[in-house]
Structure 1
Amino acid sequence: MQVPFIDLAVQHEDLWESIEAALKDVFGKGQFIHGPQTALFEEDLRRYLGVKHVVGVNSGTDALLLAIKSCGIGPGDEIITTPFSFIATVDTIIRAGARPVFVDIERHTFNLDPNQIEAVTTPNTKAILPVHLFGRVAAMDYLTAFAHQRRLLIIEDVAQACGAQFAGQKAGTFGNAGCFSFYPTKTLGAAGDAGAIATDNDEIADRCRRYRDHGRSAVNPDAFDMVGFNSRLDALQAALLRLKLPDLDEANDDRVANAQMYNGLLAEAPVQCPAVPEDRSHVMNYYTILCENRDQLRAYLQEQGIGTSVYYPVPLHLQPCHLYLGYRAGNFPVCEEVCQQALSLPVYPGLTRKQIHHVASAVCAFYGVRV
């Protein structure tokens, strides 16, 4: 049996007619940039999140960069974040001229350890950038309280957690700005690159809108009052995202149900399975286990026709381009160990019970235990 790590085709099977109609609408109007579909998607997502502003951009990477710069962060400033994430989390900090400051992660959540933040806070610290990794919301109760006490900004990386919530509040709405990626494999995925910034702050929203369009003035479209970027969300991606947004919660529930089934089937296997909270604080963008002999297990699963992925084999502080920051192996032992043990299994909506059982059975067989 073949079980791909992700099957994007099956996720769009029921939407083909709607997708075709949306594409015809965009092509018929001929407004591909700043068209009505982009504005409509921004409004739909704004209502879904319950915020004042949503600014559509061309990627989750640019969402982070524009949010950081729109918060007034630049050279000489520090942002506290995690060493266990996709490289864009840190590179956007660096591109803004600021310095990333890492803290280790929690083994059971994969998110930054909030208890380590105070020790690295300095007069140069301007913000905390939590990543809601794999779909699990970070400890936002502690982080928001600490940030308020120290007068720090919070910029959330919600790339893997659109639709997740913490204490009934949507991820991406706790801080000064929430940054979303709609890369095709995300919980809400486009047919290419796309992203958005959510904020309740009028000034941040205004700066983000100007930054995304080359710094164009909101008053005079022929004037450019800041040096900006070409970071606009195109109408084709916005149209598809509008179609998929109403089904986001159901799709996330499917991911969680798949994860719960895995946890039951893998109960006897010598692996650490992710906790599956029932309050949507984890939407399982990725179902990631910790296991011994990770690379051998992955090769064995591939032989069984099962796709897997490793997020992330090299921690950010040990990436060659970040060595100038001065971190070395051993600085963040939990993160470094997790990078050697983490393996993500298929969990996408549309995965069948038979496929899940096949994956779990193969994992158990590798370790010599029964499902």
Structure 2
Amino acid sequence: MAVPYFDYPTRYAGWAEDVLDAVREVGESDEFILKSRVAALEAAVAQRTGAAEAIAVASGTGALTVILTAMGIGPGDDVVTPAFSFISSASTVALRGARPVFADVDYDTAMLTAATVEAVRTTASRALVPAYLFASSPDMPALRALADRHSMRLIEDSAVALGGRVAGRPAGRYGDAGLYSFFPGKPLGGIGDAGMIVTDDPELATTCRMLRNHGQDLKVRFLHHLVGFNSRMDEVTALFLLRRLPHLDKFLTERRRLARQYNDLLREAAPVVLTPPGDLAEQAVYTYVVRAPQRDDLRSYLAGRGIETKVYYPRPLHLQPAFRHLGHGPGDFPVAERLSRECLALPLHPELPAGTVERVVEEIARFYRQGA
């Protein structure tokens, strides 16, 4: 039997009626965008995270764009961001006319550290954007202290981390603003793209609300206070997420259980493979990513046995053609480059059929035994 990586048909099979009910309810309500269900989801996320304000937007990338714009980040500003991340951590900075300043990451966690940020920070650095990846979190207390020390705005790219905690505090709540993504693959997946901004700054929240909706204030239509964006959450997505949000802890518990099972079995059967660090107790496990020698050969071997994997990320950001103008080359951020050669994501989601983890680990162990 094949083992697909995302396997959306299995993951959403039990939610089909909820999807249909959401479409029907919204279609009959005459409310389609930024109305009562969006407001209810904002209130629910704010309550869960302890944020004073939650602002629903169209995507996680849209959240970053809106936050950076609301903070006035633009030409002449540097923003420190990881060299190993999804592109939006840097592309949103570049689209504001600011300069992404890449920093290397820690090998074990793939996260920015205070030391790697200090190594590249400039006098023009106005903001810091650490990104959460996989099953790890940045050292947010240290990065918060660094940002305060240098008068930098701190934006948590916590897109994958709703429900996780860092040193006892909800992920996304150390920054001047944080954000979450509801892309279907995320732990609290929706039925389309969507995102949420969280902050305790009322002025920033007001500006974000205007920017997401073409600069309007939601009181007077067609009165545009700012040049904004169309980054609005629709009511169908919001209603579906409202129905799934009470299940988030259950989803995360199962994700952690599967990740620990992978860890235990891999350490015994294939110790050459480096598993995620820590006990995962507070992590919002999004993807299960290992560091694997002969990664590409292993991936091909698994594919030949019906096991689909993903590579996050095959090329670090400083070597992407889109950022060629920054003048970086191979060797500039060696840890990011090494991770791009070694990282491999194995299938993991709460609906993973019983026995799948054992099968995947057995095939990984067989690959390395054959190569020995």
Shift in Å at residue 286 of structure 1? 0.7
Question: How far is the alpha carbon of 1:13 from its aligned partner?
Answer: 3.1
Cα contact 1:58–1:233 (8 A) shared by 2: yes
Question: 2:168, 2:112 → 1: CA distance?
Answer: 21
Equivalent residue number for residue 362 of structure 2: 361
Distance in 2 of aligned mates of 1:122 and 1:303: 48
Residue 188 of structure 1 aligns with which residue? 188
Give distance in 2, aligned partners of 1:27 and 1:100.
42
Q: Which amino acid aligns with 1:213?
A: N
- Give 1:340's aligned residue: 341
Would you say the 8 A contact 1:135–1:164 is kept in 2?
no
Q: Equivalent residue for 1:326?
A: 327
RMSD: 1.4
The offset of 1:350, in angstroms, is 1.2
Where does residue 118 of structure 2 map in the other structure?
118
Task: Report the residue type matching 2:100 in the other structure.
Answer: P
Instruction: Determine the C-alpha separation between the residues in 2 that align with 1:167 and 1:8.
Output: 32
Structure 1 partner of 2:281: 279
Query: 1:273 and 1:279 mapped to 2: Cα distance?
Result: 15
Q: Structure 2: which amino acid aligns with 1:130?
A: P
- Contact (CA 8 Å) 2:60, 2:194: kept in 1 or not? yes
C-alpha contact (below 8 Å) 1:256/1:276 kept by paired residues: no
Shift of 1:4: 1.1
Q: Distance in 2 between matches of 1:247 and 1:219?
A: 34
**For residues 364 and 140 of structure 2, what CA distance do their matches in structure 1 show?**
34
Q: Is the 8 A contact 2:291 2:343 kept in 1?
A: yes
1:238-283 CA deviation, whole Å, 9 max, x = no partner?
1111111111111111111101111111113111011242431x22
Q: Bigger shift: 350-359 or 337-346? A: 350-359
Letter of the structure 2 residue corresponding to residue 353 of structure 1 = A
What is the distance in 2 between the residues matched to 1:118 and 1:22?
48
In the other structure, the counterpart of 1:289 is 290
Give the Å deviation of 1:172.
0.9
Q: Which moved more, 1:290-299 or 1:14-23?
A: 14-23
Q: Distance in 1 between matches of 2:218 and 2:58?
A: 19
Q: CA deviation at 1:218?
A: 4.8
CA distance in 2, matches of 1:23, 1:162: 25
Distance 1:149 1:56, change over 3 A: same
Taking the TM superposition and a 5 Å limit, the aligned residue runs for 1:168-247 are 168-247=168-247
What's the offset of the Cα at 1:96? 1.1
Please tell me whether the aligned partners of residues 51 and 200 of structure 2 are also in contact (alpha carbons under 8 angstroms): yes
Aligned equivalents of 1:185 and 1:218: distance in 2? Answer: 31
> Contact 2:135–2:280 at 8 Å: present in 1 too?
no
Cα distance, 1:103 vs structure 2: 1.0
Counterpart code for 1:146 = L
Distance 2:154 2:323 in 1: 23
Determine the C-alpha separation between the residues in 1 that align with 2:86 and 2:120: 22
Q: What residue identity is the alignment partner of 1:344?
A: A
SS at match of 1:271: coil
Deviations 1:292-345 (A, max 9, x none): 111111111111111100000010000001010111110000110110011000
- The Cα offsets for residues 206-248 of structure 1, whole Å up to 9 and x where unpaired, read as 1111111111135533311111111100111111111111111
Q: Distance in 2 between matches of 1:115 and 1:365?
A: 39
1:1-371 maps to which residues of 2 (within 5 A)?
1-267=1-267, 268-269=269-270, 270-280=272-282, 282-368=283-369
Query: Is the CA contact 1:183–1:192 (under 8 Å) kept in the aligned structure 2?
Result: yes
Tell me how far apart the structure 1 counterparts of residues 44 and 20 of structure 2 sit (CA, whole Å): 20
Contact 1:26-1:37 within 8 A present in 2 as well: no
Counterpart Cα distance in 1 of 2:220 and 2:107: 51
Q: Output one character per residue of 1:23-59: Cα deviation in whole Å (capped at 9) or x when no partner.
A: 3221110211122111111111111111011111111
SS in 2 for 1:198: strand
Equivalent AA in structure 2 for residue 97 of structure 1: G
Report how many aligned residue pairs link the two structures: 368
Cα distance in structure 1, aligned partners of 2:43 and 2:10: 27
TM-score (norm 1): 0.96
| Identical-pair percentage | 38
Asked whether the equivalents of residues 128 and 152 of structure 1 are also in contact (C-alpha less than 8 Å), the reply is yes
Structure 2 unaligned residues grouped into runs of 5+? none
> TM-score, normalised on structure 2?
0.96
